[in-house]
Amino acid sequence: DKKRPQRDKREIQFRSRSDKVNSDKVNNEFPKTEKISSGSIGEPKNKLPGNNEENFEYEVWGKNTLVVHKLHHFAHYTISVTACREVLEEETEMGKRNNCSAQAIFSTRTLPLNTADTVPYLNVEVMDSSNHSGDVLLKWEEPKSPNGLIVTYQIEYSRIDIENYKPLAVCITRRQFQNSSKSYILKDLHPGNYSVKVRATSLAGNGNYTESVNFYIQERQSISMLELLIITIITVFLLVGVGFLALIYHRKQMAQEIANSRLIASVNPEYVSTMYVADQWEVPREQIELVKELGQGSFGMVWRGIAYNIVPGHEKMDCAVKTVNETASDRERIEFLNEASVMKGFNTHHVVQLLGVVSKGQPTLVVMELMANGDLKSYLRSHRPDAGDDPTKQPPTLREILQMAIEIADGMAYLAAKKFVHRDLAARNCMVAEDLTVKIGDFGMTRDIYETDYYRKGTKGLLPVRWMAPESLKDGVFTSFSDGWGFGVVMWEIMTLGERPYKVSN
């Protein structure tokens, strides 16, 4: 039966005794060296056969330092230290029993031994040389006393008859090595001179390579001139075809790169355009009817509305309408419209759809698809067990939580593919539809509703510091990777049903 190797564990107990007090009944002369209760320094006490545990116990007199030699390399040791005073003859039994302090315990690991992970022996055998198969059998011995456990073996081989030939490496686990009778086969090598070497990787890192072993793979049986001619003709046709396809692919890639280069990063909210030009997204004001207020923020009001004939095939449909306060500055109106313009390029199921813009006249309106259950943060909080007496609002199940995570990830993957950096991914900016589909929200325009979630630094805009990646906080760098950090925070919000991240922090 194969047993999992035990990790080395050693235990050392130190007992320190302070100088004896002056007494007629106590000898005042103390030895100046260590007094060891179990043999000489470094000799294990009670070491069991076949067991990786070793116990040592030293008594140190008159000082508080001890150097222990000949410990095992890269091994865990648990050290406990107890300070004891001398026991006087006139003391009570209770005093004699309580002459030592409680143990101070800590664990440490010794340093690795540089040569411990070296493979001691490597054997190379060319297989089936008569058939010219190109297979080579490698066998080697494992390190006798490695630094912890051996994790993998790395095989590096290269051609020595070709200049500047880049070595190739193969990595196998120790289990694979043992399951293949402690060997490995290099398959289908081309004829030529080779060198190979092996090294082990333990918990302490890579060991030293073995000495390189050279071997030779013989030439395979030569082919006839007719076969060579046929192969040459086929190769030429293939190369021409591949070259033609590569040329077409290269031209398409160049055209796509030129198109993609027009959108390198998301809109910087600190530098917005001072002009908004109406386009095909412009909707006549009379085709939008405001029905019910959904929320009030410092930037404006969000309404439930009805849109007439703005979507082909839908004469009348429910929608959400975002407005700007009449007291808003021109810059705020332009920023509001520019943020809506970003949504014009998005067309996917898990990103909230823009339906139209009303930029002519006052107030400015942005029309979006209606998300009946509001933002994800409010939805999660309303489904807490202590949120109310409504029995229909139960916490989301594991399946529903996973569905939310998948839908948010799908929407963010779409934005990343469009080279758009959201910069403000949070539960408050994810919207929940009537069928509980979660979609990425309106890209910064919801920040006025949850202004307490943002931090204003100096005269700059509000920053969602609790959702920002470290590089964004430090250097102001926003990428798809920083959006990934925000996605992790959103997962935390979902699992805690809308709790505030780092709520104990200022």
Beta bridge partners of 216: 193
The answer to whether residue 424 is catalytic is yes
Query: Are 186 and 148 a contacting pair, CB within 8 Å?
Result: no
DSSP string, 274-302: S-----TTB--GGGEEEEEEEEE-SS-EE
Secondary-structure breakdown of the chain: helix, strand, coil percentages, each rounded to the nearest 5 = 25, 30, 45
Query: Are 209 and 140 a contacting pair, CB within 8 Å?
Result: no
Its sign, for the CA torsion 141, 142, 143, 144, is: negative
322 is in an annotated binding site: yes
CA 386 to chain centroid, in Å, comes to 34
DSSP string, 147-196: SS-EEEEEEEEEESSSTTPPPEEEEEEHHHHHHTTSEEEE-SPPSEEEEE
Side by side, the strands of the sheet bearing 183-186 are 122-126, 136-140, 183-186
Cα–Cα distance between 506 and 349 in angstroms, integer? 37
Nearest to 441 by CA among 477, 415, 469: 415
Cα–Cα distance between 158 and 213 in angstroms, integer? 11
Cα–Cα distance between 300 and 283 in angstroms, integer? 19
Cα–Cα distance between 493 and 490 in angstroms, integer? 5
CB-based burial label for 32 (10 Å; 0-12, 13-18, 19+):
exposed
CA 14 to chain centroid, in Å, comes to 42
Contacts of 310 (CB under 8 A, 6+ apart): 283, 287, 288, 355, 356, 367
Query: Are 197 and 209 a contacting pair, CB within 8 Å?
Result: yes
Structure-token pair, residue 457: 């630094």
Catalytic residue from among 375, 424, 442, 453: 424
Cα–Cα distance between 333 and 276 in angstroms, integer? 9
- Binding residue positions: 322
Q: Which residues are catalytic?
A: 424
- Binding residue positions for ATP: 322
